[in-house]
Amino acid sequence: MLRVTRRAGRGTSAVLGGALLLAAPAVAQADPLMANDLAMGGAHRANPYSLATMLDAPATLGLAERYDLGAGFRIGPDKQRALQVAALDSRTSRVSAGVTWTRMAHENGLQTADLPGWVLPDAVIEEKEVRHRVGAGVALPLLNRQLAFGVAGWYDHRATPDGEADPGGNVTASVATKLAQDVVVLSLQSSNLLPWRLYYAPLDISAGLRLQAKEVAALEANVVAPFGETDHVLGFNIGAQVVAAQVVPLRVGFERDPETATERVSGGIGVEGDRGALDYGARFWVGADRPDEGVASWHGISLRLFF
């Protein structure tokens, strides 16, 4: 069941999004993806009903009238554990607004071959990193939600057991518009507008295209191009969704990470109704760059409530 068509009362929709946004390391970043976005290969930038757009494409928050609450949990490589909560209100007032918080912890354990000569072979050296990200996005819809302007900001704090801290943050500006009656949306963003550049959040340009057919299927593709002094490469996200029995969304996706140039496949399943959705998503590292040791997959679950 696809909320955008049910709530908007439309037959077929296409969503086109172009964005300047941040792309961070696959393991170290406290990214905003819920399980439904994870299952779609991370393709979410052209979806006005994704909570992840709160920081990546905030203007889309103003294109659909809704109250949303969401919470998710994800595990991944390097003993990664991520917890996220998000809330959005685009109905109470003229301005749509949302807040999100993510906590992610992971450990980088050294292999025996990496240990220095003065460390015993059976010793374990681990560095635990904990990252908190707090962010908010607001959008001003105009022309009966046919046009919206948005801004978002986030603050990131990284800490390790030895007391090392690495705080940072940045802002995003965004504009989105419905170009046709059947919810054809163009979205443009510029992220990391402040002058400093964090190693995990370079200036990026991205574009997204979303095609949606009634309440039964959706297809979305994103392209991400980093800029500035970075060795990142062109990345992309592709995701598809088919709804079985009107309440069971089945999702698959494929992505190429712009930082590491590694490729991943994803998939997931959910149960969705008028008042909420429970989703599971998984992402698997594939290709020649797949790690030889350790876990090479992510698994997430999320609960979203609609009002």
**Domain layout of the chain by residue ranges:** 3-106+129-306
Q: What is the pLDDT of residue 78?
A: 75
For residue 228, what are the contacts with CB-CB under 8 A and spacing of at least 6?
Answer: 197, 202, 203
Q: Kindly give the confidence (pLDDT) of every residue in the chain, 307 residues in length, as a single tens digit, with 9 standing for 90 and above.
A: 566 533 433 333 343 343 333 333 333 455 678 999 999 999 988 888 899 989 888 888 998 899 999 999 999 887 889 999 999 999 999 999 999 999 988 776 554 444 455 555 555 555 678 889 999 999 999 999 989 999 999 998 887 666 677 788 888 888 888 776 555 677 777 777 776 656 556 777 777 788 887 778 888 988 888 876 566 688 899 999 999 999 999 999 999 988 778 899 999 999 999 999 999 999 998 876 665 555 678 999 999 999 8
Q: What is the pLDDT of residue 230?
A: 60
Q: What is the pLDDT of residue 120?
A: 55
Is 44:52 a contact under the CB 8 Å cutoff? yes
* Of residues 35, 8, 63, the one with CA closest to residue 271: 35
Confirm or reject CATH 2.40.160.60 for domain 3-106+129-306, answering yes or no.
yes
Q: What is the pLDDT of residue 26?
A: 36
Q: What is the pLDDT of residue 292?
A: 57
> Which pTM does this prediction carry?
0.82
Q: What is the pLDDT of residue 11?
A: 36
Structure tokens at 250: 């089945």
Q: What is the pLDDT of residue 198?
A: 60
Buried b (16+ CB within 10 A) or exposed e, 124-158: eeeeebebbbbbbbbbebeeebbbbbbbbbbebeb
